Structure 1
Amino acid sequence: MSDFFERLDKYMEYKGLNDNKLTVEAGISVGLIGKGRKRGGLSQENIAKILYNYPDLNANWLFRGEGNMIIEDQIFSSSEVNWKKIIKSQEDLLEILKKQTAK
């Protein structure tokens, strides 16, 4: 099973991103992805920024490797994106991550 950074790399390749472009677009410190790879993780705040700036990225897949990498098209099929559903899903997964790191 791949880990968080392997999955993040797969998403970045899919989107044509590199570490620098992702950090700039997500509004996190340049070099933070590389540092996170060495430390073995990113802060919840920085993960939230990534998820906020890439709403098609499935947080459940990113954290746990479950489901599809990309959030299903039905969320994006109408002219109005269901941001409440996306944000709620990502908040739920951040809570799971918070509980796991507290153990």
Structure 2
Amino acid sequence: MSVKDRLIKFLEQENISQGKFEKHVGLSNGFVNNIGAGISTTSLTKIRSKYPSLNVQWLLKGEGEMLQKNTEDFNLGEAVKKTEATVEVILAAVAELLARSTGQSSTIVKEQLEDLVNKRLNPSE
């Protein structure tokens, strides 16, 4: 199940239309339908501020329950840092592999990969 599928499942369970959700959170019209590989940190922060019971780990990775039992125990900033650190490690590894196969600098390849990832994660921002 994708991030988009999980978000739609949450909205259905809460009986919230996509349009109402987008407006309430302050996201662009059609945001839910245009979710690609993930949700930007900015959008995730907006969602979290309006729906604190939504388990972000479930939304992003499908881990745990959809709703958190105790929303005070969750630290969004810490979850975002861990996710960003994981992405950074993956990008560095992919960049190194591509650099080896193409003969380019791993720094240049990593920058190009980061640009591509950011464009896919933030298509409307």
Q: CA deviation at 1:55?
A: 0.6
Maintained 8 Å contact 1:44/1:94:
yes
* TM-score, L = length of structure 2: 0.61
Corresponding residue for residue 55 of structure 1: 52
Cα deviations by residue, 1:28-54 (Å, 9 ceiling, x for unpaired): 122222222xx3333210111111110
Q: Could you tell me whether the CA contact under 8 Å between 2:6 and 2:59 is conserved in 1?
A: yes
- How big is the alpha-carbon RMSD for the aligned residues of Structure 1 and Structure 2? 1.9
- Whose radius of gyration is greater, 1 or 2? 2
Which deviates further from its counterpart, 93-102 or 16-25? 93-102
Give the alignment's TM-score, normalised by structure 1. Answer: 0.72
2:66 aligns with: 69
Query: Does the CA contact (< 8 Å) of 1:26 and 1:50 recur in 2?
Result: yes
Whole-angstrom distance in 1 between the partners of 2:83 and 2:32: 18
Q: CA deviation at 1:23?
A: 0.6
| Matched-pair identity in % | 25
Which residue matches 1:94? Answer: 80
Q: How far apart, CA to CA, are the structure 1 residues paired with 2:15 and 2:57?
A: 21
Specify the SS of the correspondent of 2:81.
Answer: helix
Deviations along 1:62-91, one digit per CA (max 9) or x if unpaired, are: 11111111111xx37xxxxx4xx34x2x22
